[in-house]
Amino acid sequence: MSDAVLPPLTIVEVQHRVAAELTRIGPVIDQLGERFAAAGHELSLVGGPVRDAMLGRLQNDLDFTTSARPEETERLLAGWVDATWDMGRAFGTIGARIGQWQVEITTYRAETYDPTSRKPDVDFGDSLAGDLGRRDFTVNAMAVSVPGRGFEDPYGGLVDLANRVLRTPGRPEDSFSDDPLRMMRAARFAAQLGFTVAPEVVAAMTEMAGRIEIISAERVRDELVKLVCAPFPRLGLTLLVQTGLADHVLPELPALALESDEHHRHKDVYEHTLTVLEQAIALEERLGGEPDFVSRFAALMHDVGKPRTRRFETGGVVTFHHHDVVGAKMTRKRMQALRFSNAEIDAVSKLVELHLRFHGYGAGEWTDAAVRRYVRDAGDQLERLHILTRADCTTRNQRKADRLRRTYDSLEARIERLMQEEELASIRPDLDGAQIMAILDIAPGPRVGAAYKHLLELRMDRGPMSPEDARAALLAWAEANPEPGPES
């Protein structure tokens, strides 16, 4: 694993951050602690909120662990919180909303796992130390007891957090055997926090990568989305490939490392892909600035068709003809296997299929009709297609990069002009279905659809037509394509 993206923290810096965060959240955590203590129960802020407080990452979602059983937690919250929910009751968790705060309170756990099962068997524990020992990483195995605010760190999470290192509380082999998804979480936390992963953890992930197969596709998908949308996705993706986990959850990615880029811009298409991803992230302000999974995943998948389409031509030239179409099909299949929504699958697949379309633009020779088709085919993914196409330029030749940028600037300017002149985003034929039926004196049916499609193509080729010209074009089409008579 590469060096941490961010520098180490000092213990004093961490302590100051925690003190400030505890002051901010004090009104809710102290009152909760007092209610549980009065009933004879322990309550501690635990896991992510403690870790994030040390990192200066403020949040209003607070996780607690307690000696109280779920039914007792519900009783203690009743009449004091704004709302409660118990979807996690089977795992000992009761959720609640207290003003601006979302809290989850979970009974101490002592989980046991069936090695062949996708889900843990949950047993309630009887101590905070035991609960912390079953957590995934030391930086998530720290707690602050309330209301006294005593700090609990039995596994050295504070030092690991200061050094930005991910370790497991016990042997990583035991942790990953209990819950193989923790291997994905290691990659996700590396991507989210900019942490390195301890060598023994990487070794265990490599040895046990195949155990991820018992985890449901939905859980793998959710971790992958969080990783891709994290601040440092290259760190997490590199770890998945390095350990062999990607061979099981996203095999298209490591396959790219075997392919030589046709322009010799990178040692392989894998490195090119990670660069495209980072460049796409840099352009996300065009979408509002928030992490955008669709554009990021399209960048990650845009060249996955290259391994299957690689051909060696005379003179040592390597080609990947139609890798866009092949890649779109592969992307759709992988996303279906990971149980993504149809909308996400359609969006990412469309972007992969269209990512080369711009390169037919050349020096700007496209007709307005070609520009209209580019916009029509992109549909509601046009802005993301702009991002992917620009990000896909990774040449080290600055003159070439500048030329490609200026050419795409020109295309976007033409699209904007046509948008203003023709309402391009909602392009329609110059006659609607009702008008077509009235002019041709026909009832609803396939012939109306065929006429509509013909007029849409004319609209793409010629631009807007007057009602008279559109009527004449429709009648000419009807004459050239007479309706078949009834069978004799």
DSSP track, 202-251: HHHHHHHGGGGGGS-HHHHHHHHHHHHTSS-HHHHHHHHHHHTTHHHH-T
CA-atom Rg of the chain in angstroms:
29
Give, as one character, the DSSP assignment of residue 395: -
Contact (CB, 8 A) for 389 and 408: yes
Name all domains of the chain by residue range, CATH numbers in brackets: 11-170 (3.30.460.10), 175-248 (1.10.110.30), 251-426 (1.10.3210), 433-480 (no CATH)
Tokens of 133: 């020992």
Residue type, 101: W
List the one residue out of 259, 262, 463 whose CA is nearest residue 359: 262
Question: Strand 101-107 to strand 196-197: parallel, antiparallel, or no bridges (unpaired)?
Answer: unpaired
Question: What is the spatial distance between Cα 84 and Cα 104, in angstroms, rounded to a whole number?
Answer: 10
First-to-last CA distance in the chain? 77
Cis-peptide, bond into residue 169, ω within 30° of zero: no
Q: What is the pLDDT of residue 422?
A: 65
Q: What is the pLDDT of residue 418?
A: 84
List the one residue out of 435, 466, 433, 477 whose CA is nearest residue 452: 433
Q: What residue ranges in 291-359 does DSSP mark as E strands?
A: 311-312, 318-319
Q: How many CA atoms lie within 13 A of 100 on its CB side?
A: 5
Q: What is the pLDDT of residue 158?
A: 95
Q: What is the pLDDT of residue 1?
A: 43
What SS3 class is residue 59?
A: coil
Long-range contacts at 250-254 (CB < 8 A, ≥ 24 apart) = 250/224, 250/334, 252/301, 252/304, 252/330, 252/331, 252/334, 253/300, 253/304
In this prediction the pTM is 0.83
Contact (CB, 8 A) for 431 and 471: yes
Q: What is the pLDDT of residue 303?
A: 96
- CA quadruple 86, 88, 93, 96: dihedral sign: negative
Give, as one character, the DSSP assignment of residue 109: B
Name residue, tokens 């370790």.
167
Residues of the chain with pLDDT under 50: 1-3, 265-267, 488
Residue 482: phi and psi, rounded to 5, are -65, 150
Partners of 121 in beta bridges? 112
